Amino acid sequence: MVRADVQVLVLLMIVMSRVVHAEISDLPRIPLTIADHELHAEVAYTQQARARGLMFRLKMTENAGMLFVFPQNAYYGMWMRNTIIPLSVAFINKKGVILNIADMEPCSLKAHHSAGPVKYALEMNRGWFAHRKIQAGEYVSGLEHAPAAE
């Protein structure tokens, strides 16, 4: 009986350490502006950072997001595996223009795809774009400050 309690405690500690680690990010942050709305984005520019994304995060501040920088200008899809926060994603081409925006369900494996070749995807709290009336065709400034994809 004691051994089972210890195993449960160890498992709980592992899960909590992942949550705490996920809340603390060492990714670079850059300011971005869309239609006079300012935000700060963590930049996922490595394969490992893009794969992890916002998994296991419990919350994100209102004007914070994650910018995914892809190695090539191509069609990409995003999903919500292990992502608890409801998100919206804007797919952005290499010129900085939003091609399409999709709302995503937490922990869903449903892929949401870009409407054309993109260089970036910007994840924000779900509804962030809609509440600010940001739509396809808007320009995102500040992308030049993002590190190049690895």
List the alpha helices (DSSP H) in the chain.
2-23, 47-52, 128-131
pLDDT digits (tens, 9 = 90+) for 100-126: 999 999 999 999 999 999 999 999 999
Query: How many Å apart are CA 95 and CA 75, to the nearest integer?
Result: 15
Model pTM? 0.85
**Domains present along the chain, CATH in parentheses:** 27-145 (2.60.120.1140)
The pLDDT tens digits of the residues spanning 55-98 come to 999 999 999 999 999 999 999 999 999 999 999 999 999 999 99
